[in-house]
Amino acid sequence: MEALCSGAKRFYTGKMCLNGHTVERYTSTTECVECSRIAHRTYYQAKKIRKETGEAQIVTATAAKYHVWDKK
């Protein structure tokens, strides 16, 4: 709570996250910094693979279809 009030972006509790990391956490999401880094790396690696295999066009077309549908 102190970190949130002081405007800090991260805080340290000393407790392990569910995946066993004992590192800082983000104040906005309380997510472990290491878990966030792993999730982002995994996402971008999968995105790169989809782009290389041509699946990106399918995903983008599907997303665009639903995005237009949500606007109605």
HEC string for 25-36: EECCCCCEHHHH
The better pLDDT of the pair 39, 57 is held by 39
At 10 the three-state DSSP class reads: strand
CA angle 49, 54, 57 (to 5 degrees): 115
pLDDT for 6-55, tens place per residue? 878 899 999 999 989 999 999 988 899 999 999 999 888 888 887 887 76
Predicted confidence band of residue 70 (pLDDT cuts 50, 70, 90): very low
Outline where DSSP puts E strands in the chain. 10-11, 25-26
The better pLDDT of the pair 68, 50 is held by 50
Predicted confidence band of residue 57 (pLDDT cuts 50, 70, 90): low
